[in-house]
C-alpha cells in the first residue's frame, strides 16, 4: 500500500515562530510537492522538488522554504509564521513526467495564533 505520511495532523504555533512540516513517502518517488488548501481557493502549489536537493517555486512560495536532503523526505519551513499562513497543508509525491498519479498525505491543519 502506497504511503505518504505527514508528521503532524494538527499544529498550533505562535506568530513569529519557525515551523517545520515534515513529509515522508515510501514509494521511491522522484517528485514531491507541498500545497496549501483554503476554502474557495482550492489547492495551491507552494514548492515542489524533482530530485534530492532540487526545488522549484510554485504559485505561492513567499514566506516558505523547503528542504529535500533525502529522496523520501520533503520538509516545508515557515521561516516566521504569520496568521495568514493558517491553513491545511498537503504533501504529495509522484513519479516524474509522464503517465503517473499524485499520492497525498493526510494533511496538516496548521493554526497560527
Residues at the interface with another protein (CB under 8 A): 4, 6, 31, 33, 42-45, 48, 50, 56, 58-59, 90, 92, 94, 96-107, 109
By beta-carbon proximity to another protein, the closer residue of 11 and 43 is: 43
By beta-carbon proximity to another protein, the closer residue of 18 and 38 is: 38
Q: Work out how close the CB of 8 gets to another protein at its nearest, in angstroms, rounded to a whole number.
A: 13
Residues in the chain: 113
Q: In sequence order, what are the beta bridge partners of 6?
A: 23
Buried b (16+ CB within 10 A) or exposed e, 68-92: beeebebbbbbeebeeebbbebbbb
By beta-carbon proximity to another protein, the closer residue of 58 and 63 is: 58
* 3-state SS class at 17: coil
Q: Work out how close the CB of 20 gets to another protein at its nearest, in angstroms, rounded to a whole number.
A: 19
Amino acid at each position: 500500500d502506497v504511503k505518504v505520511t505527514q508528521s503532524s495532523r494538527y499544529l498550533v504555533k505562535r506568530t513569529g515562530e519557525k515551523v517545520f512540516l515534515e513529509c515522508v513517502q515510501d514509494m521511491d518517488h522522484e517528485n514531491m510537492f507541498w500545497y496549501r488548501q483554503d476554502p474557495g481557493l482550492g489547492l495551491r502549489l507552494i514548492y515542489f522538488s524533482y530530485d534530492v536537493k532540487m526545488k522549484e517555486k510554485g504559485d505561492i512560495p513567499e514566506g516558505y522554504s523547503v528542504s529535500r536532503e533525502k529522496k523520501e523526505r520533503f520538509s516545508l519551513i515557515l521561516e516566521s509564521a504569520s496568521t495568514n499562513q493558517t491553513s491545511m497543508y498537503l504533501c504529495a509525491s509522484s513519479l516524474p513526467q509522464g503517465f503517473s498519479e499524485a499520492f497525498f498525505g493526510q494533511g496538516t491543519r496548521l493554526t497560527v495564533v
